[in-house]
Amino acid sequence: MKMRYLSLCLIVCGVALLTFPGVGVAAPSKSLIAGGAGHSLAIQKDGSLYACGLNDSGQLGLGDTANRHTLIRVGSATNWVAAVGGHFHSLGLQVDGSLWAWGHNGAGDLGLGDTTDRLIPTRVGSATNWVAVTAGWSFSLGLQADGSLWAWGYNQYGKLGLGDTIDRLNPTQVGSATSWVAVAAGEWHSLGLQADGSLYAWGNNYFGQLGLGDAIERHSPTRVDMANDWVAIGAGRAHSLGLKADGSLWAWGNNGWGQLGLGDTTPRDAPTRVGSANNWVALASGYCHSLGLRASGLLWAWGGNEDGQVGTGDTTNRLTPTLVGTGGVAVAAGGGHNLGLQANGALWTWGNNTYGQVGLGNTIDCLIPTQLKTFNAPRSVVIPLFD
């Protein structure tokens, strides 16, 4: 999995005890840690933003294209409240509700009306009502406070949800619904939740990652099932994860490395329950691996483990959730690496480190979660993702 074109996962966490905001009102994101294909982002307790790893397109936001092997502060702002890493670009939200973007922009990934890369955070439009963002392979999705969903960038397979496959250089509203409360971007597909607990999917569906019982791509949001109890979602390269209100974990899509956690490597084209536990509270999806937190703070991982991304001290794939650590309150997965937060603000990283994305000052893969002792995230980190 040490390749130039890794995929990523972007939704940081969700919760089984989630209380949805009222219809048409999306709540602010708390994405304090994020992993892109080969880079990492994290927000300190003072609201400052840090980045490390691959920087060939300026995705670290440091004004150049040099990789960094340790977390480096991005600018001087102390009002960052959320950050996400796309394939080779990054997005961030500031406390005033403004949206910022930087890095690769070849297909309008940044939403700035052009295709010119940016090496530092650049404001996207003038709106001050952005509350959540996510990013995939050269495309981005965002929610505004009124519950509207917006998309921009590369639109192959219809992953923007706009009913076609035409790229967009500026944020474009997806339909007319104002009831969206969560969104997740994979490599070629997207997922979204509405305030009534319904789940929607669109984009590429070759492995059944849309969960619709077939392999037919969709160019606009399509309801996955008739259930109204979905509370959190995660999208990997070609697999998907979801949590229901009863704390159960579900998975579907590609399963070549066991990333669905179902004990085999057979793909699923519809949501399939993972085990029998009813205490899952957070999830994250990487290129070919998955992470989950239970209510007790126990961290579990499964799937591809070539670079140690499962965190078990070896490189053997795991086909079912495997206990990795304790005390977690949030997790994020990049292409082949991960970040985790504990309640005391401690930041832990592990997995692929080809570009220094684990932040340990070298490029040696890290096979077990390792604390970055110089970093302290906000101690007010709480689950759920939406209050």
CATH number reported for the structural domain that contains residue 337 in this entry: 2.130.10.30
Report the distance separating Cα 41 and Cα 34, nearest Å.
Answer: 5
User: How many CB atoms are located within 10 Å of the residue 382 CB?
Assistant: 13
Which amino acid, one-letter code, is at 41? L
| Residue with token string 């969903």 | 149
Residue 232 lies in a domain: yes
Q: Is 149 inside a domain boundary?
A: yes
Flag whether 3 is in a domain. Answer: no
Q: Cα–Cα distances in Å, from 157 out to 20, 163, 202? A: 30, 10, 9
Q: Are strands 33-35 and 89-94 parallel, antiparallel or unpaired?
A: unpaired
Q: 379: left (phi > 0), else alpha (psi -120 to 50), else beta?
A: alpha
> Which residue matches tokens 């009102």?
25
3-state class (DSSP) for residue 125: coil
Lowest mean pLDDT among 5-14, 46-55, 155-164, 287-296: 5-14
The answer, yes or no, to whether residue 140 has pLDDT greater than 70, is: yes
**Total structural domains within the chain:** 1
Residue 377 confidence (pLDDT) above 90: no
For residue 18, is it within any domain?
A: no
Q: Does a structural domain hold residue 17?
A: no
pLDDT of residue 151: 99
Higher pLDDT, 345 or 289: 289
Please give the pLDDT value at position 48.
97
Domain of residue 77 covers 33-376
| pLDDT tens column, 62-95 | 999 999 999 999 999 999 999 999 999 999 999 9
pLDDT-above-70 percentage for the chain: 89
Nearby residues of 299 by Cβ (< 8 Å), 6 or more positions away: 291, 292, 293, 311, 323, 324, 325, 326, 328, 331, 340, 369
Could you give phi then psi for residue 149, rounded to 5 degrees? Answer: -110, 135
> d(Cα 247, Cα 267) in Å, to the nearest integer?
23
In a domain, 8, yes or no: no
Residues 6+ apart with CB under 8 A from 24: 146, 147, 178, 179, 195
Whether 41 is in a domain gets the answer yes
Residue 333 lies in a domain: yes
